[in-house]
Every structure is written in C-alpha cells, then in structure tokens.
Amino acid sequence: MQTSLPVALSAQIAMERRLDTIADNIANSRTAGFRATEVKFESYLSKAAQEPVAFSSEGTDFISTRTGEMTQTGNPLDVAVNGNAFMAVQGPAGPIYTRDGRMTLNDAGELLSLTGNPMLDVGGAPIQLNPAGGNVSIGRDGMISQGGVQIAAIGLFEMPAGANLSRAGNSGVVPDRPAQPVVDFGTVNILQGFVEGSNVNPVLEMTRMIAVQRQFESAARFIETSEQSLDKAVQMLGSQS
C-alpha cells in the first residue's frame, strides 16, 4: 500500500488551513483590539499499512492572548484594557467581548462601541451617561464619572480557563462558557485615553506565509513525483504481464 500520497495530501490540507489564518491575520493587522488566530496541529497514527504511518490533522484554531501595542490618543472616550480581560458590548444573541475600546456617546447618552453596540457594565446592562453632563472621567477600575459624580462603570470580564473562543465580527469574541467579572483590579485595569492595536506582527506573518507556501509547493512536487513513479511502475508491470 502506498502511503506517501495520503500523507502528503494531509500535509497540504493542514498548510492550506494555516495559510487561511495567516491571510486573515495580515488583513486585520491594523484592526484595533484584534487578536491573531493560531492553529494547533496534531499527528494521527494509522496502523492500516504494514508500518505505522503518521498523518497531519486539519488543525484546530485558537485565538492568541498576546496583548497588542497600546497607543495614546488623548480621547477621553478611548480606553484600553491592561491585562488579560475583555470589555463587553451588547450583541444580537448576548454579550460580545472585545478589546476594542473606541467608544462614542450619542445624543441620548448611550455609551456605544465604534460599531454602534451598547457598552455593558459588569451586570450586563447598557451604560447610560448624561449627554449634557460634561467631561467623562474613567478610572482604572472602569468607574465612569461626570462632574465628579460616579454614574456608571465599564464591565471587565475574564475568560474561564479552557474556554474556546469563537469570533464575532473583527475584534469580538464569544466564549463557550460564561465569562467571569473582574474583581481584582491590581493586575487587570483600564487605561483612559489609550487604544490597543492588533496583536498581529505583519512582518512575522508575512515570513510565515512565505514559509508555508514553500512547504505547500514542496508537498505538491512530491505528490507529482510519486504519481509519476506509480504510473511508471504500473506501465512496467503491465508490459511484463
């Protein structure tokens, strides 16, 4: 039984998956709060042949937890999360968690994300401010004050250990189990007047893309050579019969 072809094909499938994630990362290298997609590959051992043969899995996506670069904007409605936590916005099917802290205040006093979703407090309720209340001050614990009066607080949430995150829009994520409110602001807090950029390193991603493309092409050449060898063997056996 010839095993080189299915092994090479499994490698190509895995590399195609990796190329897709790299391309998406590069496309979002300037998206605020974006966290890169990585892929974990595993080796599967088959004993169908005379000797055990290892095949590559298609890969499992996971979202990187690296922090992006912080940029100071001076805008009082820009915030960044310092530490491994997320803010929450109201989505169509429940909370969406994000690191993109660019906010706006509409005429009704609703605090909205840049995409128009209501920002949520720690209890999951939309945040309401006074549109005529003057300057907005946001503390490290997310507490929002206007005119020296505390009126609301931006909710901060931590993802449970082992939670799988799925994407919701460009910079939003949704965990497969409930996120937990942050209660200790010593290691997790909010920085007013800052925006977190993407955690994608575009130069590194381009280098990875070139390397994976070369590996894909090498596997394709190997498959072509194997097929040619198999065709020649069939022809030789056919001529001798």
User: pLDDT digits over 218-230, tens only?
Assistant: 777 766 666 666 6
Using a cut of 0.75, tell me whether the model's pTM lies above it.
yes
Structure confidence at residue 183 (pLDDT): 87
- Reported as a single tens digit per residue, the pLDDT across 153-196 is 999 999 998 888 999 988 999 999 999 999 888 889 999 999 99
Beta-carbon count within 10 A of 47 CB: 8
What digits encode the pLDDT tens for the residues 108-164?
999 999 999 999 999 999 999 998 888 999 999 999 999 889 999 999 999 998 888
